[in-house]
Structure 1
Amino acid sequence: MTTRKIPKIRLSNLLGSRKFYWLLVIVLSTSMLFSSIGLLSTSGWFITAAAIAGLLGIEINYITMSGLIRVFSLTRTVTRYIGDLVSHNAILHLLKDLRVNTFEYLSKYRSKLHNSSVNSIVMAHRLVIDIDRLNLFPLRFFLPWVSSTLIVLVFSYAIYQIAPILLVYILPAVCVSWLVIPISSFFKGIYLAKEEVALSEYCKEQFIQSLSLLTPLLIWKTWSFEQGKLNQLHNDRLQKKLHQQNFTSFIKMLQDMALAVALMAGIWKGTVLVNNHMLTVPWLLGIILGIMALVECLSPLAGSFMSLGLSIFSRDRINELIENNNEKLEFSMIEPEQIESLELINVSGTIPNALNGPRCISFKLAKGDVLGIRGSSGVGKTTLLDLIAREITQVEGDILLNEQVIDTWCLKNTLGYLQQHIDIFDFSLADNLRIGKQDASDDELWQVLKFVCLDDWAQSREGLETVLGEYGAEVSGGQARRIALARLLLSNRSLLLLDEPFAGLDKNNIELLYRRLVTYAQDKIILIVSHHDLSIYGCDEYWIK
């Protein structure tokens, strides 16, 4: 038995996913900003030089300058588009890694999640939103700061090489725009981000709650009042968004004012240097235009700490969920070579918040046995299958597999469970079936379709290429369950838990499918929950009272 804790998410680890892509994004985004500065500086210098040359009637070499302008323009466009592609690719890979890893770890402790007061659908939606917000850290915080820092350092070094004394006058104001003003927005940005996360969650909860009460609200004619509350929440959220935008615009304005000071200081001191023949006009013009181009490089920093705040609070919410399910995570790596027996000894359990559930269930099955589980509606037949499948771990009594506690075994490739809720995807029939066995041949697919009495239906449609529609919209509920059963049979599991596998079948096909399952179970154990009387076919039944 291995004990493993779910690792917490750290923002610093987000860049560890796809390091090459992030490095490439940094190079491309920095190159794009350099090209923007070069384009503005060169084109501004060229326009000014052309105007002066026209006024003075002197010659000017426009070919070299126009060539540089084209180079900077093409480089800016190409690096922007390629950078967007690479950054989107990196973000999508990051989101994939985060979603897969988070849901994989949490799925290993589903009982704790089921015990949560939060509805599982709401929680899943919340997880997806929080995971999506994490990408703001690399995309809108890390990359802008790295790129702008490189730009400022290189720009400062260039000025130092051209006119060191000029750097003393320009750099302080540039640093204010680059560092002081954005960093001063840290606490306010974090606060606004916290408000955004809290209000967004509250609005979502109120909306879902209102929808769940829609029928009684309409009956009692109070829906208009509830709708008014939702509209007010929506307006409040819009006001918060407007506040965030105004704050970001205010920070940008302060940055622009600081750069304007740097611009005026550069013009004033640069003019003095030109008059003293310590600096030429073209170099001064290039520096001035470069300062103007810094606006594009530094403006993304205005909202960077708000993006950081959104990522921080989303990280904390995910880690809180992980921490609540992190008491222990024990799982076995040992799979049984074959199933010899399954025994339940005084097993009891309930779904969280349920009134009823199976009580003191005891039976023993050997390899080759098929057992029908019967009982009135709501007595806990499906819950019993959940207990055996370890979907619910809060169980009283003992469940033994091969004479050992079932937790001793890893059942990943041993147990197959046809649940009440099944997943049919908007693929072809063949693709849906091959989820159970990827390398299954067409002959195998037709054999398993015949097994579940769907071969005639498939032949009357488009065969294995029949499209099942989103959520199985193109098939009936009974057909969808038998497609899911066929997929399960293809996976060749030794312990099968089948919840209503005969739905939508007439008596003849029920008997035919049952006989085939009995033959299939020669080296397996099968438990069948069904409202049909299987005893008439010779099936042993266990009644839950």
Structure 2
Amino acid sequence: MNDLWFFLKLFKPHRGWLVAGILLSLLTALSSIALLTLSGWFISASALAGLVAMDGNALTFNFMLPAAQIRALAIIRTVGRYGERLVTHEATFRVLAGIRGWFFQQLVPLVPGRLSVMRSGDLLSRMTADIDALDALYLRLLAPAIVAIVGVTAVTGFLAFYAPVISVATGLMLLVASVWVPWVFNRLGVGGAEQIIVLAANFRIRQVDMMQGFSELIANQAYGRFSDFLGQFSALMLNTQRQNNRLSAIASALTFLLAQLTVLLVLIFAVISFKNNLLSGPDLAVVIFCVLAAFELVTPLPQAMQMLAKTQKAARRIRQVSEMSPTVSRPIQVLGLPERYDLQLKEVSFRYPDQHNPVLKNINLAIPQGSKIAIIGASGSGKTTLLHLLMRYYDPEQGSVLLAGQNIKQLDAEQLMTCFGVLSQRSQLFAASIKENLLIAKPNASATELAMAIQAAGLEKFIGYLPEGLDTWVGESGVQVSGGEARRIALARLYLKNAPILILDEPTEGLDSDTEADIFKALANFAKDKTVVMVTHREAGLGLVDTVYGMESGRLSQW
């Protein structure tokens, strides 16, 4: 329950909406009970009206007042039901939006060190499905439970005015239906509820893997095997869901059975009270219909408690990510950025947390402001790791990374990133327009600045051919544009940011020779007065730099 209590604390900013939703739910439930109870009394009293009493006088009855009350209750129930749905769902959407915002804030310090070890499908599942599962915390658990507590108390108190024995019997049966039955089915359904969360998450992971590797699966004739495995996984998930549904059906049937047994028991007590002149005929109808309507308060609870484990599991999965410790810590005393951009690595060694062997070993490297260097080495030699240390994605295990003589551990991470412009082998484009992808680098860029960046990256002709120009949608991960054009868009974004230090990580990987030459030519013009640190495993583009270093097994040497 600690996981659920943790997220309940995040509900506080929206407590006004949450309380309003609960009050409307309570109003709707009580008006529904009152409507059925008053209707039963009205029908019974109407049937007796006009009968001749033993003394010869006719019984009189005021039809107008109860009829008006019934109409009012019907209107209140209808409007209350609509308002309840509107407010509770608005409250839920606001809460989930707040949790998503909070979750993204927790993710920022984990990029890329901690999140790099997570599979993208798993992270996606936690950000979407697991957070969505928390809607049950309010809609199916908190609100129904509060309504049931208040409603059951009100019903038993109301019945006590007519017959205390009936009040006690009804209260006990409602207690069984609202506490014992949900507890039993929570115990029976805990395994299946948790399993469905895990299965659904793994299913999404495999779906994402298949979509991301679709072309490779087709090329290697492996799509059928992966598709069959996904189908087996889907069948297992459906079978688990069927078992959960069976428990839900049994819980609903048991609650309905308890309701009918309670009505029968109350009917027996009411008839005895009627024979003893403790209840009148209309009062008997009031008691029976009130008891019958009261079980609407507890009907949702068994199914909600059965799936409590699902909500708990989802909450636990979200907290597992949010409580990860970042790979870098915030400085106790933040220093301002220096005026120069000289970089230096002193006796730097580094290993990843899940590895035994160091990736970098005693690296010493001085990169004066304005210098241009390249680091060549085979894949896995530690080149990209060195770049990550320069930008403080990680802190070195030994040694230090300096910017103008200051340890970058003492600098604010966000301010530090303003010093770097990055062009990597994977040009990340978002599902947005070309213009929106460019403005990521500088949201307040003017039209003139955009035009200059586009011209410098060689995108003018490409954009000119597009009917929608800069407003052209590039698609998910830039699928609507070629690899070369995606790289040029990333290059234009680099120009727009105009950072003093350029980090180039295999900037032309996967491009044809002509596009590669154009990219390096554009970079040469742009980087004249900037510091350049490029890593590559090829010799193409070395004309851009002044000094070349070799990286082998984590050790650096000048060529």
One fold, TM greater than 0.5? Answer: yes
Q: Which deviations, in whole Å up to 9, do the C-alpha atoms of 1:61-90 show, x marking residues without a partner?
A: 666555444433333233223322322222
Q: Residues 338 and 451 of structure 1: is their aligned pair in 2 closer, same or farther, counting only changes over 3 Å?
A: farther
- Aligned counterpart for 2:19 among listed residues 20, 23, 27: 23
Stretches of structure 1 lacking an aligned partner (at least 5 in a row): 1-6
Corresponding residue SS for 1:362: strand
- In structure 1, distance between residues paired with 2:328 and 2:5: 17
Corresponding residue SS for 2:296: helix
Q: Which deviations, in whole Å up to 9, do the C-alpha atoms of 1:261-301 show, x marking residues without a partner?
A: 5642563355257x35xx55445433432222112221112
- In structure 2, distance between residues paired with 1:510 and 1:397: 35
Contact in 2 for aligned 1:347/1:397 (Cα 8 Å)? yes
Partner amino acid for 1:527?
V
Equivalent positions of 1:177-326 (< 5 A) are: 177-184=173-180, 185-186=182-183, 188-198=185-195, 200-201=197-198, 205=202, 230=233, 233-234=236-237, 236-257=239-260, 259-261=262-264, 263-264=266-267, 267-268=270-271, 271-272=274-275, 275=277, 281-321=281-321, 325-326=324-325
Contact in 1 for aligned 2:28/2:81 (Cα 8 Å)? yes
- Aligned counterpart for 1:33 among listed residues 24, 29, 40: 29
- Aligned counterpart for 1:460 among listed residues 458, 461, 465: 465
Contact in 1 for aligned 2:22/2:88 (Cα 8 Å)? no
- In structure 2, distance between residues paired with 1:341 and 1:24: 58
Q: Which deviations, in whole Å up to 9, do the C-alpha atoms of 1:313-352 show, x marking residues without a partner?
A: 33344445556x3499721354415443211234444665
Contact in 1 for aligned 2:174/2:298 (Cα 8 Å)? yes
Contact in 2 for aligned 1:136/1:310 (Cα 8 Å)? no
User: 2:541 — aligned with what?
Assistant: 534
| Deviation at residue 147 of structure 1 after TM alignment | 0.9
- In structure 1, distance between residues paired with 2:471 and 2:351: 42
Q: Which deviations, in whole Å up to 9, do the C-alpha atoms of 1:474-516 show, x marking residues without a partner?
A: 2222322333343454445444423344565636632442134
Contact in 2 for aligned 1:425/1:469 (Cα 8 Å)? yes
Equivalent positions of 1:409-424 (< 5 A) are: 409-415=411-417, 416=420, 417-424=422-429
User: 2:557 — aligned with what?
Assistant: none
| Deviation at residue 302 of structure 1 after TM alignment | 1.7
Contact in 1 for aligned 2:508/2:519 (Cα 8 Å)? yes
User: 1:382 — aligned with what?
Assistant: 384
Partner amino acid for 1:331?
R
Q: Which deviations, in whole Å up to 9, do the C-alpha atoms of 1:84-103 show, x marking residues without a partner?
A: 23222222232233333334
Q: Residues 314 and 255 of structure 1: is their aligned pair in 2 closer, same or farther, counting only changes over 3 Å?
A: farther
| Deviation at residue 33 of structure 1 after TM alignment | 1.1
- In structure 1, distance between residues paired with 2:519 and 2:227: 50
Q: Residues 315 and 493 of structure 1: is their aligned pair in 2 closer, same or farther, counting only changes over 3 Å?
A: same
| Deviation at residue 148 of structure 1 after TM alignment | 1.5
Q: Which deviations, in whole Å up to 9, do the C-alpha atoms of 1:13-62 show, x marking residues without a partner?
A: 24324111111111111111122223323444445555666999999766
- Aligned counterpart for 1:544 among listed residues 543, 551, 555: 551
| Deviation at residue 465 of structure 1 after TM alignment | 1.8
Contact in 1 for aligned 2:156/2:170 (Cα 8 Å)? no
- In structure 1, distance between residues paired with 2:462 and 2:231: 51
User: 2:406 — aligned with what?
Assistant: 404
Partner amino acid for 1:170?
I
- CA-based RMSD of the aligned residues comes to 4.1
Q: Residues 119 and 155 of structure 1: is their aligned pair in 2 closer, same or farther, counting only changes over 3 Å?
A: same
Contact in 1 for aligned 2:159/2:166 (Cα 8 Å)? no
- In structure 2, distance between residues paired with 1:334 and 1:414: 11
| Deviation at residue 114 of structure 1 after TM alignment | 5.4
Corresponding residue SS for 2:430: coil
- In structure 2, distance between residues paired with 1:436 and 1:227: 39
- In structure 1, distance between residues paired with 2:231 and 2:460: 54
- In structure 2, distance between residues paired with 1:105 and 1:73: 47
User: 2:77 — aligned with what?
Assistant: 76
Deviates more, 1:311-320 or 1:354-363: 354-363
| Deviation at residue 520 of structure 1 after TM alignment | 6.2
- In structure 2, distance between residues paired with 1:463 and 1:22: 46
Deviates more, 1:196-205 or 1:441-450: 196-205
Corresponding residue SS for 1:399: strand
- Aligned counterpart for 2:365 among listed residues 363, 366, 376: 363
| Deviation at residue 183 of structure 1 after TM alignment | 2.2
Partner amino acid for 1:315?
A
User: 1:4 — aligned with what?
Assistant: none
Deviates more, 1:138-147 or 1:210-219: 210-219
Partner amino acid for 1:310?
K
Q: Residues 195 and 382 of structure 1: is their aligned pair in 2 closer, same or farther, counting only changes over 3 Å?
A: same
Partner amino acid for 2:523?
Y
| Deviation at residue 231 of structure 1 after TM alignment | 6.5
Stretches of structure 2 lacking an aligned partner (at least 5 in a row): 53-57, 553-559
Q: Once the two structures are aligned, what percentage of the paired residues are identical?
A: 26
Contact in 2 for aligned 1:15/1:138 (Cα 8 Å)? no
Please say if 1:174 is aligned against 2:174.
Answer: no
Contact in 2 for aligned 1:203/1:233 (Cα 8 Å)? no
- In structure 2, distance between residues paired with 1:517 and 1:465: 25
Q: Residues 337 and 61 of structure 1: is their aligned pair in 2 closer, same or farther, counting only changes over 3 Å?
A: farther
User: 1:428 — aligned with what?
Assistant: 433
Partner amino acid for 1:460?
Y
Corresponding residue SS for 2:298: helix
Q: Which deviations, in whole Å up to 9, do the C-alpha atoms of 1:348-386 show, x marking residues without a partner?
A: 446656999555543222333343343344434333222
Q: Residues 217 and 433 of structure 1: is their aligned pair in 2 closer, same or farther, counting only changes over 3 Å?
A: closer
Partner amino acid for 2:329?
E
Q: Which deviations, in whole Å up to 9, do the C-alpha atoms of 1:98-151 show, x marking residues without a partner?
A: 3333343244245763585x6353254246443333332222111111111222
Equivalent positions of 1:121-160 (< 5 A) are: 121-126=121-126, 128-160=128-160
TM-score by length of 1: 0.81
- In structure 2, distance between residues paired with 1:231 and 1:311: 21
User: 1:499 — aligned with what?
Assistant: 505
Q: Residues 78 and 539 of structure 1: is their aligned pair in 2 closer, same or farther, counting only changes over 3 Å?
A: farther
Partner amino acid for 1:91?
T
- In structure 2, distance between residues paired with 1:221 and 1:355: 38
Contact in 2 for aligned 1:177/1:255 (Cα 8 Å)? yes
- In structure 2, distance between residues paired with 1:450 and 1:115: 34
| Deviation at residue 220 of structure 1 after TM alignment | 13
Contact in 2 for aligned 1:171/1:262 (Cα 8 Å)? no
- In structure 2, distance between residues paired with 1:111 and 1:20: 37
User: 2:524 — aligned with what?
Assistant: 515
Q: Residues 120 and 157 of structure 1: is their aligned pair in 2 closer, same or farther, counting only changes over 3 Å?
A: same
Deviates more, 1:385-394 or 1:62-71: 62-71
User: 1:94 — aligned with what?
Assistant: 95
Contact in 2 for aligned 1:190/1:309 (Cα 8 Å)? no
Corresponding residue SS for 1:345: strand
Contact in 1 for aligned 2:26/2:151 (Cα 8 Å)? yes
- In structure 1, distance between residues paired with 2:124 and 2:396: 22
